[in-house]
Amino acid sequence: MRRNAIVALAGGIGAARFLQGLVHVLDPRQVCVIGNTGDDAEMHGLHISPDLDTVTYTLAGLANPRTGWGIRRDSFRCLESLKALGAETWFQLGDRDLATHIYRTERLRKGDSLSEVTGKIASVLNLRSAIIPMSDDPVRTRIRTPSGELEFQTYFVKRRTRDRVTGIRFQGAEEARPAPRALEVIAKAKGIILCPSNPFISIGPILAVPGIREALRQRRDSVAAISPIVGGRALKGPAARMMQSQGMPVTPLAVAALYADIAGVFVIDKEDRKHAREIESLNMRPVISNTIMRGLPQKKALARLVARELGMRA
Ligand code: FO1
């Protein structure tokens, strides 16, 4: 890892948007991403790592700008043929994207680790930032709902997050080990960022891998979290509804409380400045910014601010 590196804990689309800004304001080689693999899934016999791929494709400039996931201008001919054969095709896998999953699956079957495969995919796509999975061991997010426990992508894509969430568990997390370099990069980083991702299903699984939360706690003063909640709404996805169903107020303060033991800095949107005092009472330093990233200028501005808060020259 480079000296003066920034480590970012990341989910999928929301994190990728922020990271796009970060690699513009820092040398991309200074950026190391630890990605969520809790929403990995098996589809058509292939190992899919949606969040790792979303971050990789975005930083490679390949992501589909309309959806945020998948590859831009991809075709879906393989999926059409699968549909004709009667296979389930609710999870959209493009032809070029499928090459990633075929390659990953084959190497994992041969005994290579997810870290190795992720690194290879990133290097073939000329990424200069490092991307490492939270763990090479399988961890699977399971969503408890009134109609039973659902595999993550069934809840998220097939059922469009419409079920009420009564619980979340990370199957396999207790036995999982952090990926080989994860604890080292956290210990050596100049600063660590918790991206504006869903705290329950994107950052939650990463923190559930034994050792990672403790490693962050040791670096608390150098950890900045960015609120994914702005003005009572989630920047993306079902975070707000998940908070409501757990009886939590939908405020950045409630998210800050989830991170109070591991982050010394908490970035909130201008719209939420009224919560700054309460965030201070959690012994966190509130930083007020525009956190809604519509285009590259806003992504860069937010990234620059957070990097500077962590003592980086950005
Ligand atoms: N998200 C969807 O909403 N619908 C899809 O069909 C879909 C397919 C897909 C394929 C590959 C991939 O890497 C991601 C994909 N995603 C899709 C995104 C993904 O399900 C979620 O955004 C993440 O798991 C949550 O971060």
- Summarised one tens digit per residue, pLDDT across range 242-296 is 999 889 999 999 999 999 999 999 999 999 999 999 999 999 999 999 999 989 9
Cβ 92 under 6 angstroms from ligand 1: yes
Q: How far apart are CA 105 and CA 100, in angstroms?
A: 9
Residue minimizing CA distance to atom 21 of ligand 1: 50
User: What's residue 172's pLDDT?
Assistant: 98
Quick one: pLDDT at residue 98?
A: 98
Q: What is the pLDDT of residue 246?
A: 86
* DSSP character string of 231-245: TTEESSTTHHHHHHH
| Inter-residue contact 193 to 34 (CB < 8 Å) | no
Q: Which of 71, 91, 100 to mutate to test the pocket of ligand 1 (most atoms within 8 A of CB)?
A: 91
Name every residue whose Cβ is closer than 8 Å to that of residue 302 and which is 6 or more positions away in sequence.
18, 21, 226, 267, 289, 290, 291, 293
Q: What is the pLDDT of residue 295?
A: 93
Q: Is 157 in the pocket of ligand 1 (CB under 6 A)?
A: yes
Q: Residue 206: its pLDDT value, please? A: 98
Say if ligand 1 is within 6 A of residue 309 CB: no
> 51 in ligand 1 pocket by Cβ < 6 Å?
yes
Interatomic CA distance for residues 149 and 71, integer angstroms: 30
Predicted pLDDT of residue 4: 80
- Is residue 236 over pLDDT 90? no
Question: Which pLDDT does position 218 carry in this prediction?
Answer: 98
Number of CB atoms found within 10 A of residue 146's CB = 8
pLDDT digits (tens, 9 = 90+) for 160-213: 999 999 999 999 999 999 999 999 999 999 999 999 999 999 999 999 999 999
Taken in order of first residue, the domains within the chain and their CATH numbers are 6-42+127-139+174-309 (3.40.50.10680)
The Cα 127–Cα 228 span in angstroms is 26
Q: How confident is the model at residue 126 (pLDDT cuts 50, 70, 90)?
A: very high
Find tokens 């939270």 and name the residue.
134
19, 300 contact by CB (below 8 A): no
Spatial separation of the C-alpha atoms in residues 298 and 277, rounded to whole Å: 25
**What is the rounded average pLDDT for all residues in the chain?**
96
Please state, in angstroms and as integers, the Cα–Cα distance from residue 55 to each residue in 103, 200, 202, 270, 272, following that order. 18, 18, 13, 27, 28
